Every structure is written in structure tokens, then in C-alpha cells.
Structure 1
Amino acid sequence: MSETPTRRRICFQQRIHPDRIEEYKRRHAAVWPEMLEALEATGWHNYSLFLAPDGLLIGYVETDSLTAAADRMAAHEVNTRWQAEMADLFDGIESPPDESFVPLEEIFNLEQQLAAARSAAGASRPGQVPRR
């Protein structure tokens, strides 16, 4: 029985050329099915992209490691083709888009803090059930 890797919540940013935003949206409205399958197979879970009007792109993914997930994707030929298709849409990068993620530090997580607060409340008041 194999052990399931722990998923980490990862957020990253990039920037899309402001004059290429509509093209970026168009391409992501119909991502190639083989690209979607490769992402899932290589451990990209709950993956979302968010785009601001000025081209700021925020990505969110749950995976064991952003580096490891990107490395697994690099082994897929479809990823090489996708990155080449997308490269000219990005602003300020010298390497392929999937090698240019700028990870963001998670500084607040509601579920983690609630669990810690409830645990502390339960430990400080023996016999009392923490509120939900």
C-alpha cells in the first residue's frame, strides 16, 4: 500500500503582457485535453489561475512540491509544446513560463488557525467542547 503524499497549498505570481491579456484568457478557456490530463497525472490538484486587469497573474495549486510537480510536468512532451505556445504572453521572464513562478509566502490560513485556537481552548478548559 503506497502512502499518499501530503498536499501543500502553493500560491505563485507571474505577469502577463497587458496587451496580451485577452489572448491569455482565450487560450485558457480551452486548454488542450492532453495538457489537462498531464497536470492531473503529475500531481497538480485544485489548480486555479486568477488574472488582474493589469496583467498580474496569481496561481494556486495543491501539490506535494511546486518544484517536484513542475519537474514531473517537464517530462511530458505536451508541456514543452504548451510552454512554447504561452511564452510570448508573459512579461518580464527569461525562462519558460513554468520555470518562472514566483512563490508567495502563506501568512494566514483560516482552517489552521481555527484548529489551533480550538485545540488551545479545549486544552485550557478540560471537559468543555470547543465551539463550532
Structure 2
Amino acid sequence: MIRKASIMFVNRDSYDEYKRRHDEIWPEMAAELKAHGAHNYSIFLDKETGRLFAYVEIEDEEKWEYMSQTAICKKWWAYMEPLMDTNADNSPVSINLEEVFYLE
């Protein structure tokens, strides 16, 4: 399993809506994430800054990268765009983090 972590940013006035949309994640989005090797996916919010910390375990980097090309992912990004800092393609602005310590 490959562990990945990143930081994204949610608008301060959108915390509740961001959580609600994830609580009600579309079944087809959840299925596609799993089909692309995602496990133990968590997102945490720092309410002071709007910073999101995302953690996911994936099976394969190439398989995971292909997730961003799926129609359901692009639809989800468009749905979430009003709530977050996003790039021109609606993907969330995301900072990948480098693992520097792990204790099993």
C-alpha cells in the first residue's frame, strides 16, 4: 500500500456544506475511488485556516492518477468548485506532502 497525504483549502463560509457533500458522497464517486485503488481515505479540517489535510492509501500510483481523468471525478470537482480553492480545470488546489516518518 502507498500512503499519500496532501493539503487543500476550503472557503471559510463553506465548512458545513463541504462536510455535508462528503457525508452524502455519490455512490458512483465512492465506487470509482475504490476501483482506482483508494483505501482508508480521510479528510480533516483545520477550522482556523480552512486548510484540509487529506490522507489516502492507494494500490498503485498510475491507477490512482487515472482517477482524475474519469467523468465522475470531473463532475465531482465541478460540484465542489464553489466551496474550494481550485485550478482552471476545477481540480482542487492541492499540495502534496512528502512522508518523513512512519511508525507501523
**TM-score, scaled to structure 2:** 0.86
Structure 1 unmatched ranges of 5 or more: 1-6, 112-132
Match of 2:17 among 23, 31, 54: 23
What's the CA shift for 1:76?
2.4
Secondary structure of the residue that 2:25 maps to in structure 1? Answer: coil
SS at match of 1:11: strand
Q: CA RMSD in A?
A: 1.7
Does residue 8 (structure 1) correspond to residue 2 (structure 2)? The answer is: yes
Gaps of 5+ in 2: none
Deviations 1:6-39 (A, max 9, x none): x211110011010111110110111000000000
Q: 2:103 aligns with which of 96, 102, 110?
A: 110
Asked if 2 retains the 8 angstrom alpha-carbon contact of 1:90 and 1:97, the reply is: no
Q: Secondary structure of 1:46's partner?
A: strand
Detail structure 1 runs of 4+ shifted over 6 Å in the superposition: none
Can you list the C-alpha shifts for 1:56-92, whole angstroms capped at 9, x where unaligned? 1010011122x651x321342211211100011113x
What letter is aligned with 1:109?
Y
The one-letter amino acid of 1:72's match is: Y
SS at match of 2:55: strand
2:19 is aligned with what amino acid?
Answer: K
- Corresponding position: 1:53 with 2:47: yes
Q: Given the alignment, which residue of 81, 98, 101 partners 2:75?
A: 81
**Percent identity at matched positions?**
39
Bigger RCO (CA 8 Å, 6+ sep):
2
Tell me the TM-score normalized by structure 1. Answer: 0.69
Q: Deviations over 1:86-120 (max 9, x none)?
A: 011113x333235x321111111112xxxxxxxxx
Q: Whose helix proportion is higher, 1 or 2?
A: 1
Q: 2: distance between equivalents of 1:74 and 1:56? A: 21
CA–CA separation in structure 2 for the residues paired with 1:81 and 1:14:
18
